[in-house]
Amino acid sequence: MYGTPIFITDDERRQIYTTDLTYDKRLEQQRDIFIFQCLIGCRISDLYALRRSNIITERTSKGNRKCISYIPRKTKDGHPVTVYVPLNETALAILKKYDYMKDEALVDNRYSKEKQAQAIREKMPASTSDAPLFPLIAQQRYNEYIKEVFRACGITREVSVINPTTGEVEQKSIADVASSHLARRTFIGNLYNKVQDPNLVGSLSGHKEGSRAFSRYRTINIDIKADLIDKL
């Protein structure tokens, strides 16, 4: 059973990005990865599969633009669709911050000193194009860090969620329900509030044309409601 998708606003995303977390390097790193995911909207499986070779340059009417290009794993077995997501200034700044990762050995989808050392001992081939974008950790730990990031950044407003067992509506802190998939919903929800064109947003999120998933995002923004009521 699914309710209205829960996601953070653009202002909340900026608050998370600008909060000083330098006192905890791992927390800061996972915050940056979460923000990057919010800006490209991919699923966690696709995020962990991204390599430096996924960063391409596309020519636009305003000049060359860096993009992330990938094929969502969910579509690979059916009708593969290549997704192109232009990178904004924040996404580019995050990538630049972790530019050192191009020199790290690629082992599985995670970066660790032990596995890197093993790769070097076994002389496993590694190339810049195949280097991971970020210092990734186990996906479960990534989700745990996201919750910690929300609390550290003061993003704790209450949201209504449906208990999957009882079907009853409960109030919880958004920090308690935050996860990697919230980053994807944030990307989709904020874009959809701006354009409300499922096919346009779907071309950036990897949803198939006519996907029913967007019916859950057809909620009118509170700002639109307020403006409408002010006209009475």
Task: Report the distance separating Cα 104 and Cα 81, nearest Å.
Answer: 29
pLDDT for 104: 66
Q: How confident is the model at residue 204 (pLDDT cuts 50, 70, 90)?
A: confident
Element (H, E) at 229: helix 222-230
Would you call 132 helix, strand, or coil by DSSP?
A: strand
Tokens, residue 83:
């997704």
CATH of the domain at 93: 1.10.443.10
User: Does some domain include residue 41?
Assistant: yes
Whether the per-residue pLDDT at 1 is higher than 60: the answer is no
Q: Residue 127 falls within a domain, yes or no? A: no
- pLDDT of 90 above 50: yes
Higher pLDDT, 47 or 206: 47
How many folded domains does the chain comprise?
Answer: 1
What is the rounded average pLDDT of the residues 59-84? 82
User: Does any domain span residue 103?
Assistant: no
Tell me, what's the pLDDT at 30? 97
- What are phi and psi for residue 150, nearest 5 degrees? -60, -45
Q: Cα 155–160–165 angle (5° rounding)?
A: 120
Domain that residue 45 falls in: 10-98+133-230
Task: Read off the pLDDT of residues 148-164 as tens digits, 9 standing for 90 and up.
Answer: 999 999 999 999 888 87
Which DSSP string corresponds to 49-88? H-BGGGEEEEEETTEEEEEEEE--GGGTTSS---EEEE--
Q: What is the pLDDT of residues 127-143, one digit of tens each?
A: 566 788 999 999 999 99
- Over residues 122-127, the mean pLDDT reads 54
**pLDDT confidence of residue 109:** 47
Q: Is the pLDDT of residue 186 over 50?
A: yes
- Of 86, 52, 50, 90, nearest to 70 by C-alpha is 50
Q: How much of the chain, in percent, has pLDDT values that exceed 90?
A: 47
Q: How far apart are CA 194 and CA 223, in angstroms?
A: 12
Whether 1 is covered by a domain: the verdict is no
